[in-house]
Amino acid sequence: MVRAFIMGKTAAGKSEELLASTTSLPGVVEAHVVAGEYDIIAEAEGEEVYDVMHSVATDIRNLDGVEDTRTYICLE
């Protein structure tokens, strides 16, 4: 099992809407609106790194209102 944290920067006023969209994506375990450089942090799981990178990170990046993402794969 591969776990990753995906940070998302959103357009102004879009965080709550995008939180709901992010949480409903397959592979997303949980997501939260946060303060800081990024607006949303999501925890995702998949069988392989490709699963997390392709389906989850790509799906989040393609949501309307997401301006930037960073994905951090857990090494433990």
Domains and CATH numbers, the chain: 2-73 (3.30.70.920)
Per-residue pLDDT at 72 exceeds 80: yes
Strand order in the sheet with 2-10: 28-33, 40-46, 2-10, 66-73
pTM flag (> 0.85): yes
Give residue-wise pLDDT tens across range 19-66: 999 999 999 999 999 999 999 999 999 999 988 888 777 899 999 999
Separation between Cα atoms, residue 40 and residue 9, nearest integer Å: 7
pLDDT at 54: 80
Per-residue pLDDT at 4 exceeds 80: yes
Per-residue pLDDT at 8 exceeds 80: yes
pLDDT at 27: 92
